[in-house]
Amino acid sequence: MEYTVINNEKDQRFEIHLDGYIAFEQYKLFDGGISYIHTEVPPELGGKGIAAYIAKYVLDYAEEHHLKVKPYCPFIKAYIDKHPEYQANSLFHTKESHENEN
């Protein structure tokens, strides 16, 4: 599967272009961090794992740019839950927040 990812700064979203369709992750920047708020994948791209590609890309982007992550989007939060290597950079996945859940 070949796709292109762009950071559409005007619309504040990371876009994956594949087979003439666009899937995206909407974001907002804040001082020292980035909030991921909405993933949208067109039905034509469903079942191809596009949401996971977006999640990995946007979390790697945040890490590379030393941004803390607020994963308001359930797709991003679920990806972090399954990939603990991203938890240290997430503002909602600290050791203290997991202790408070119990």
Say yes or no to pLDDT of 94 above 90.
no
Kindly report, residue by residue over 30-62, the tens digit of the pLDDT: 999 999 999 999 999 999 899 999 999 999 999
Q: What is the pLDDT of residues 67-78, one digit of tens each?
A: 999 999 999 999
User: Mean of the pLDDT values across residues 84-101?
Assistant: 68
SS3 (DSSP) at 64:
helix
